[in-house]
A and B are shown apart, each in its own frame.
Chain A
């Protein structure tokens, strides 16, 4: 069967779905009539999600000045959008996983995505964007399309990677040859399916071509440059190891210059370690404890 984006769309039911509680949270956050109590009650129904939210919100990476000990506090102090973004952050890594192989490592892709998220947050701050958390989540989700393709069409995904390596072409060129579509298109499909905000979806869809963005041009520029920084600094791996060219318009839009790059990159490396600990740390600690108990 020849693949196309249409075949993937027809298989929309096979795309990974968010936990029901999180779907409900997204619906409630999208509805302006929702109250803080309603939102908190839905989250509290799920003990595991509640625990994850509180652990993440109190991790050194988020570093809120005081400890947040209840969901109601989180909703009222941080706001609806921040809580939704934290819940997506806490859930998505477990949801989109796959077999670790010599050719492709989902863990290394998540490390790359966490570095891009941290970079996007810093670039949003640098360019005085209003919503840094949204930039963080857009960075975290920018490559989810790769994991979806790996889950739904694993053989074709690995062939895209090997084609990029063998022919020394950018991954997007190899994807078009093998799959007939690219991971940024799949990212848009998935985030729209999940009913995440349109600007977030567009930033993800346009992270390789930020000048094509219609409504979220700055957000797309932030994720585009953060992805390039993350690759240049070798933080995690996007599956291929080359650094793509940065759009000059995106570079100018963010007001970047050579004299700020060193401090931005040092901060990105430091925050990356903390964010990796906060987001991937739970799984790693569980493994370390299992090893210690076995010894």
Chain B
């Protein structure tokens, strides 16, 4: 599964899930190959992200997280969990690790150029 920001979509990508507007009206069907016009439609309706089928090569490329992203996530986690007594509370460690895996997946799959700190600052 790959969620992708609408800004990063390019023609030829295939939708893994149908896209609806906020009134529940179908905008694009599951399996549709995107054209430039489709991307304009999604932006007009204020859709932020869609599910895209991962091509096999792309799936392999994103299955391992780069060391740079891992370092970034570690720093972010240390900063964000600074009031959370990570060392002395095992359940906070579990939350931090699970959230870190999600942030890494997001950074790797959909937001290679945007860190969680930048996302926060928006």
Which of B21, B97, B99 makes the CB contact (< 8 A) with A233?
Answer: B99
Residue A58 lies at the interface, judged by CB distance under 8 Å to chain B: yes
Q: Is the CB of B95 within 8 A of A228?
A: yes
Q: Which residues of A contact B24 (CB under 8 A)?
A: 55, 58-60
Which of B45, B95, B98, B120 makes the CB contact (< 8 A) with A237?
Answer: B120
Per-position contact with B for A263-276: 1 when CB-CB < 8 Å, else 0?
00110011001001
Q: Is the CB of B95 within 8 A of A234?
A: no
Per-position contact with A for B87-117: 1 when CB-CB < 8 Å, else 0?
0010110111111011100000000000010
Residue A289 lies at the interface, judged by CB distance under 8 Å to chain B: yes
Q: Which one of B31-39, B60-68, B75-83 is at the A interface?
A: B75-83
Residue A5 lies at the interface, judged by CB distance under 8 Å to chain B: no
Q: Is the CB of B83 within 8 A of A246?
A: no
The docked-state distance in angstroms from the alpha carbon of A59 to that of B24 is 5
The docked-state distance in angstroms from the alpha carbon of A261 to that of B99 is 9
| Residues of A258-295 whose CB lies within 8 A of B | 258, 261-262, 265-266, 269-270, 273, 276-278, 281-282, 284-285, 287-289, 292
Q: Count how many chain A residues have C-beta atoms less than 8 Å from C-beta atoms of the other chain.
A: 43
Q: Is the CB of B83 within 8 A of A170?
A: yes
The docked-state distance in angstroms from the alpha carbon of A168 to that of B43 is 38
Which of A108, A242, A266, A282 makes the CB contact (< 8 A) with B82?
Answer: A242
Per-position contact with B for A37-78: 1 when CB-CB < 8 Å, else 0?
000000000000000000100111000000000000000000
Residue B58 lies at the interface, judged by CB distance under 8 Å to chain A: no
Q: Which residues of B contact A273 (CB under 8 A)?
A: 3, 48-49
The docked-state distance in angstroms from the alpha carbon of A243 to that of B24 is 34
- Which residue of chain A is the closest to B99 with respect to CB atoms? A232
Residue A153 lies at the interface, judged by CB distance under 8 Å to chain B: no
Q: Is the CB of A241 within 8 A of B22?
A: no
The docked-state distance in angstroms from the alpha carbon of A232 to that of B91 is 13
Residue A244 lies at the interface, judged by CB distance under 8 Å to chain B: yes
- Which residue of chain B is the closest to A264 with respect to CB atoms? B98
Q: Which residues of A contact B96 (CB under 8 A)?
A: 232, 243
Q: How far is the CB of B116 from chain A (nearest CB, A)?
A: 5
- Could you say which of B49, B102, B116, B122 has the most chain A C-beta atoms within 10 Å of its C-beta? B102
- Which residue of chain A is the closest to B19 with respect to CB atoms? A60
| A60 with B91, Cβ < 8 A, contacts A232-B80, A243-B81, A284-B46 known | no
Q: How far is the CB of A208 from chain B (nearest CB, A)?
A: 12
A-B contact pairs, 11 of them (CB 8 A): A59-B24, A232-B98, A234-B80, A244-B84, A245-B84, A258-B97, A261-B95, A266-B102, A282-B22, A285-B21, A292-B44
Top 9 nearest A-B pairs (CB, nearest first) are A281-B22, A232-B99, A261-B98, A284-B46, A258-B94, A288-B46, A234-B116, A251-B91, A245-B84
- A residues sitting closer than 8 Å to B (CB atoms) are 55, 58-60, 108, 168, 170, 228-229, 231-234, 237, 241-246, 248, 251, 256-258, 261-262, 265-266, 269-270, 273, 276-278, 281-282, 284-285, 287-289, 292
